Copies of this chain bind each other. A is one copy, B any other.
Amino acid sequence: MNATATAGVTRRAVGAPDVSRLDWDEVGPAVELLLRDYVESAQVNAASVWARELWGHIGRGLDGGKRLRPQLVCLAYGAFGGTEAGECAAVGTSFELLHGALVVHDDVIDRDFVRRGHPNVAGIYREAGLARGLPAGEASHLGSSVAVIAGDLLLTASLRMLERTTAEPAIRSQLTEILHGAIADAAAGELADVLLARPVFGGDLAGEGDGRIDDVLDMERLKTATYSFEAPLRAGAVLAGADAGAIDAVGRVGSLVGTAYQVIDDVLGTFGDERQTGKPATSDLREGKLTVLTAFAHPESASPRSASPRSASPGSGPDLDQMRDALHEAGADSYALTLAHSLVTEALDEARRADLPPALRSELTRICNHVLHRES
């Protein structure tokens, strides 16, 4: 979600008849403050100079995010009548910290040392090692090691932040379950990503003999859609005291939209403009990730790694460019776009069927349009 969608949330709130309706203009700054306070407090209480420095890098890594997940918490919370900006911000910040944790560990697993065009935590410590004369392999392992630690700190920060809500015990307990469920799904999705990228492990993620593309969609739903869309929307609804049916419905919509988001991410990860996505184009191909694109083009042994082993000069252009062209010729990108459209259509049908509040449906429609047309 970029500035367009943010503005959308704001405009809707301003135009709504109920003036007490919660506004992202109020919640957004509270989220920034909670993030900054958490990092500063961790720095003040750091047990060593090095831990203080690491928190500095973690804090800068959290800066400038789009705050998609807190916005979704805010959207659902406001739509179901929530009015407490502070409560909403704490829950949203918890998801933002979880996102930070998962990104840092995902980068370790993907051997990515760059994020949004800058060195990530692993990259910063790898560079420090290289600058001090460590061999490349050692410097990379140093960077990854520190990133494992940083991710652990962010993961616990996420759970700790949720304890700041003053909601009644039954609500808090539901929120905690949602967060833990999101972490479990993200872990299962990450595991599937790791194993699906290695065709020797076979597929059949759900144990139901699905096809390869269904495996990829399951993986993307688990890895991204749950914690980024479904869980924040559900959490916002729970915090506002929505009824169980509405909570489930908004969760299902989130899961579908989030899966569509990830399908588009696959397209951007292979065909996107590096200047806009902030990560090297073809990075998915280089790491041999199984995506909707590669699963479509190679339904049996779906990983590009089987076609082009990693040892074949990582980073060198030609091979990867050829693979990208072959995917395009096979129609993989237009297939993925069609798939994303149909997921979004299903999501909006669900929102209509479940009779979600009109303001919420209208925002979800806006978000869906944004998901389909985003460029980074």
A217 in the interface (beta carbon within 8 A) = no
Counting contact residues on chain A (CB < 8 A from B), the size range is 35 or more
Give the contact stretch, choosing among A42-50, A269-277, A326-334. A42-50
A353 in the interface (beta carbon within 8 A) = no
A187 in the interface (beta carbon within 8 A) = yes
Contacts of A205 in B (CB 8 A): 48-50
Would you call A191 and B48 a contact (CB within 8 A)? yes
**Complex Cα spacing A189 to B149, Å:** 10
Interface string of A145-180 (1 = CB under 8 A from B): 110110111011001100100000000010010001
Would you call B218 and A45 a contact (CB within 8 A)? no
Contacts of A201 in B (CB 8 A): 128, 132
Question: Among B48, B108, B159, B189, which residue has its beta carbon within 8 angstroms of that of A192?
Answer: B48
Contacts of A1 in B (CB 8 A): none
Would you call A54 and B191 a contact (CB within 8 A)? yes
Within the complex, what minimum Cβ distance (angstroms) separates A230 from chain B? 12
**Complex Cα spacing A46 to B42, Å:** 33
Would you call B51 and A218 a contact (CB within 8 A)? no
**Complex Cα spacing A150 to B138, Å:** 24
Contacts of A126 in B (CB 8 A): none
Would you call A192 and B50 a contact (CB within 8 A)? yes
**A108, A148, A183, A309: most-surrounded residue (chain B CB, <10 A):** A148
Of residues 169 through 226 on chain A, the ones whose CB sits less than 8 Å from some CB of chain B are 173, 176, 180, 183-185, 187-192, 194-195, 198, 200-201, 204-207, 218, 222
Given contacts A132-B201, A133-B200, A200-B132, contact A206 B148 (CB under 8 A): no
**Complex Cα spacing A75 to B134, Å:** 46
**Complex Cα spacing A155 to B152, Å:** 8
Question: Among B50, B111, B160, B173, which residue has its beta carbon within 8 angstroms of that of A188?
Answer: B50
A36 in the interface (beta carbon within 8 A) = no
A-side interface residues toward B, CB under 8 Å? Answer: 42, 45-51, 54, 101, 105, 108-109, 111, 128-129, 132-135, 138, 141-142, 145-146, 148-149, 151-153, 155-156, 159-160, 163, 173, 176, 180, 183-185, 187-192, 194-195, 198, 200-201, 204-207, 218, 222, 309-311
Pull 24 A–B residue pairs with CB atoms less than 8 Å apart, ordered by A.
A46-B188, A48-B188, A48-B192, A48-B222, A50-B192, A50-B205, A51-B187, A51-B188, A51-B191, A101-B152, A105-B149, A105-B152, A108-B145, A109-B145, A109-B149, A128-B201, A132-B201, A134-B200, A148-B151, A149-B190, A151-B152, A152-B152, A159-B159, A160-B176
